[in-house]
Amino acid sequence: MKNGVNAPRLLGYGLGGALVVTGFAGLVVDAHLTDPLGWALWFGGLIVAHDGVLVPLVLLTGVAVGRMRSPSPVRAGLTVAAMLSLLALPMVTGLGRRADNPSLLPLDYGRNLLVVLGLVALGTALAAIAVRLRARRRRG
């Protein structure tokens, strides 16, 4: 496409293109398993949810945090907290629990997430204090 055409580039496009075609063909050939319409709704839905909802929320939060006095530790703490919450969310909802199998999702995920978020908050608070102390020492 750009920067001229050379052998490695063509090889990359060939290989990549072949894999993409294989993927789409497989989704269609196995339609009884992949349910192309349902697949497309998830594929597109996740893009829309990410680009249209998640990132705008993150950007707004970022603007708010940027107005704080020492934003860096808060920014880092919120980022880590949000990502671990996303990881835990499906388990916290307990949607996957089944009465016949208590070995599946055996923990109290709501409590565990609170413990994890508490640790992240503690780390963030300590980092914020350290930042302030260092700033004061530099000034004083």
Partner 1 sequence: MVRDSVTRDRVETLLRSVPGRFGSVLHSERVAARLGLWLGISFTVAFATGLFSHFMQHPPGRLAWPSRPVGLYRITQGLHVIGGLATIPLLLAKLWTVYPKLWQWPPFRSLSHAVERGLVLVLVGASLFQSITGLLNISYVYLWPFSFPAAHYWTAYLLYGALIIHVVNEWAKVRRQLWTREQVEPREVVTARRRFLGTVAAASGLTVLFTVGETYAPLSGLALLAPREPHTGPQGLPVNKSAAAAGVTTVIHDPGYRLTVTGAVRTPLSLTYDDLLRLPQHTVRLPIACVEGWSAEAEWSGIRLRDLAALAGIAPDAVLTVESLERGGGYRSSEVRPPHWNDQLTLLALRIGGAPLAPDHGFPVRLIAPNRPGVLQTKWVSKVVAA
> Residue numbers of the site for partner 1 (CB under 8 A)?
1-3, 8-9, 12-13, 15-24, 26-27, 30, 33-35, 37-39, 42-44, 46-47, 50-51, 54-55, 58-59, 62, 72, 75-76, 79-80, 83-84, 86-88, 90-91, 93, 95-98, 100-107, 109, 112-113, 115-116
Q: How far is the CB of 140 from partner 1 (least distance, A)?
A: 22
Q: Which is nearer to partner 1, 100 or 137 (CB)?
A: 100
Q: What is the DSSP secondary structure assignment for residue 102, as one 8-state letter? A: T
Q: Which is nearer to partner 1, 33 or 138 (CB)?
A: 33
The Cα-based distances of 132 to 28, 30, 63, 81, 138 in angstroms read: 58, 59, 21, 22, 10
Report d(CA 132, CA 140) in Å as an integer.
12
Q: Which is nearer to partner 1, 32 or 137 (CB)?
A: 32
Q: Which residue has the tokens 């063509």?
A: 10
- Identity of residue 13: Y
Contacts of 128 (CB under 8 A, 6+ apart): 70, 73, 74
- Identity of residue 133: L
Q: How far is the CB of 134 from partner 1 (least distance, A)?
A: 13
Q: How far is the CB of 121 from partner 1 (least distance, A)?
A: 13
